[in-house]
């Protein structure tokens, strides 16, 4: 703990979008002190040189990971690329609580990880202690964890509406179709041809068709909720916007269930939750209603095809889909109020 009794936190990979978003949120958290920031390629630079909107804040300069004094660090947000996180986390002292925003500890099965991420998992002993951090579903496991695997953005948008419906046996486990759209920030800050303005603006395109890496994560968590293996059809699309995910999910109703029954299941699961909200009947969630907030909005509609229903969810991919959920998880792990640092009302228009 810092001299003023705050939790000392480090952000690894602070020069990326999720690191910058964490800094924005942490400035409103009274119980956390940002003690260290890393960005190996920008080591020695001030955060303001990378993100001018953060230049006025009292923050440490960015350093290489090897130069962090871990003896004074209580918790870490790991915002490093997939595949690079395992070795770093394996080398951290045991007293440090970890929220990992990469995919490296989300998948329980080593073979599944190798199949989808193209390499052997090098820290399966740590994988065994990792808790999947969909906070509203696994809050008690998160509370007791040292290492939390923060869910992916698409996966959070898919799992939050589907898990209660599957857990109550209201929908068929086969034929689930998830059609999702994301803002460009989901691709990260590294230069990519496909993320150029001229490639993205004034259009929409599907990508990762039948091969997106969030698919096994979605199937893992849905299968756990249903108590049987589930395979989904998941197709992501890139939208000409900076932030946001909208997921439209098509399901087949089971045993005479109705769309109202699905709405009831979501209400039972989330009525008392601060960040997952069921919108009024007949309204559709929209990304512009969650921008900058830690909210996930849910809606339910009866399909005109008998026996089917449509679930719609919207969240900000950088907040509830990444950094906001990470802070929510650390709040639970460290015993803070779960909403600390996360009261932001959506930015509109």
The 10s digit of each residue's pLDDT in 226-284 is: 999 999 999 999 999 999 999 999 999 999 999 999 999 999 999 999 999 999 999 99
Alpha helix (H) residue ranges in the chain: 17-26, 47-50, 85-90, 110-117, 124-127, 135-143, 153-167, 197-200, 214-226, 259-270, 324-334
Determine, yes or no, domain membership for 256. yes
How far apart are the C-alpha atoms of 89 and 85, rounded to whole Å?
6
Q: How far is CA 238 from CA 35, 100, 150, 165, 215, in A?
A: 35, 24, 22, 27, 16
Number of structural domains (the chain) is 2
Domain shared by 122 and 236, yes or no: no
Count CB atoms within 10 A of the CB of residue 164.
22
Domain shared by 199 and 297, yes or no: yes
Domain containing 217 equals: 153-317
How far apart are the C-alpha atoms of 73 and 70, rounded to whole Å?
5
Domain shared by 69 and 177, yes or no: no
Determine, yes or no, domain membership for 339. no
Residues in the chain: 349
Determine, yes or no, domain membership for 146. yes
pLDDT at residue 5, as a whole number: 86
Residues of the chain with pLDDT under 70: 1-3
Residue 153 a catalytic site member: yes
Q: What is the CATH number for 138?
A: 3.40.50.720
Check: CB of residue 117 under 8 Å from CB of residue 103: yes
Token pair 């759209």: residue? 181
pLDDT at residue 3, as a whole number: 59
Determine, yes or no, domain membership for 1. no
Cα angle 160-205-200, degrees, rounded to a multiple of 5: 105
Domain shared by 249 and 147, yes or no: no
Count CB atoms within 10 A of the CB of residue 204.
10
Domain shared by 51 and 199, yes or no: no
The SS3 call for residue 150 is coil
Determine, yes or no, domain membership for 287. yes
Determine, yes or no, domain membership for 126. yes
CA 271 and chain centroid, separation:
21
Stated pTM of the model: 0.95
Domain shared by 145 and 179, yes or no: no
Contacts of 36 (CB under 8 A, 6+ apart): 8, 10, 11, 60, 63, 68, 69, 73
Spell 191-203 as b/e; 16+ CB within 10 A means b: eeeebeeeebeee
Burial label for 93, CB within 10 Å (0-12, 13-18, 19+), is exposed
pLDDT at residue 208, as a whole number: 95
Domain shared by 104 and 187, yes or no: no
Domain shared by 281 and 330, yes or no: no
Q: What is the CATH number for 267?
A: 3.30.360.10
pLDDT at residue 2, as a whole number: 63
Determine, yes or no, domain membership for 344. no
Determine, yes or no, domain membership for 341. no
Check: CB of residue 7 under 8 Å from CB of residue 1: yes
Which of these, 35, 124, 97, 63, lies nearest to 332 by C-alpha position? Answer: 97
State the catalytic residue, choosing from 78, 79, 153, 165. 153
Domain shared by 328 and 294, yes or no: no
Domain shared by 50 and 135, yes or no: yes
Domain shared by 309 and 325, yes or no: no
Domain shared by 287 and 209, yes or no: yes
């Amino acid at each position: 703990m810092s001299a003023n009794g705050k939790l000392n936190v480090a952000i690894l990979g602070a020069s990326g979008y999720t690191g910058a978003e964490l800094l924005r949120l942490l400035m409103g958290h009274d119980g956390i002190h940002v003690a260290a920031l890393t960005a190996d390629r920008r080591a020695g630079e001030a955060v303001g040189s990378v993100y001018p909107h953060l230049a006025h804040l009292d923050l440490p300069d960015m350093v290489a990971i090897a130069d962090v004094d871990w003896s004074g660090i209580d918790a870490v947000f790991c915002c490093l690329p997939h595949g690079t996180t395992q070795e770093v986390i394996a080398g951290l002292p045991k007293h440090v609580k970890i929220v990992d925003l990469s995919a490296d500890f989300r998948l329980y099965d080593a073979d599944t990880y190798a199949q989808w991420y193209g390499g052997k998992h090098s820290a399966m002993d740590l994988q065994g202690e990792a808790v999947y951090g969909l906070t509203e579903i696994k809050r008690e496991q998160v509370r007791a964890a040292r290492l939390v695997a923060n869910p992916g953005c698409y996966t959070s948008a898919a799992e939050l509406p589907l898990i209660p419906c599957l857990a109550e046996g209201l929908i068929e486990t086969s034929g689930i179709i998830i059609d999702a759209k994301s803002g460009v920030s989901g691709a990260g800050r590294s230069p990519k041809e496909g993320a150029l303005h001229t490639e993205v603006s004034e259009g929409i395109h599907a990508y990762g068709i039948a091969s997106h890496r969030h698919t096994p994560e979605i199937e893992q968590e849905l299968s756990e909720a249903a108590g049987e293996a589930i395979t989904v059809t998941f197709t992501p699309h890139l939208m000409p916007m900076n932030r946001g995910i909208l997921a439209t999910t098509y399901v087949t109703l089971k045993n005479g269930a109705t769309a109202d029954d699905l709405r009831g299941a979501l209400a039972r699961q989330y009525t008392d939750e601060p960040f997952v909200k069921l919108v009024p009947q007949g309204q559709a969630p929209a990304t512009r209603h969650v921008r900058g907030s830690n909210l996930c909005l849910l809606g339910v509609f009866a399909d005109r095809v008998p026996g089917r229903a449509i679930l719609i969810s919207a969240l900000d991919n950088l907040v509830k889909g990444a950094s906001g959920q990470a802070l929510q998880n650390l709040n639970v792990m460290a015993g803070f109020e779960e909403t600390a640092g996360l009261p932001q009302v959506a930015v509109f228009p």
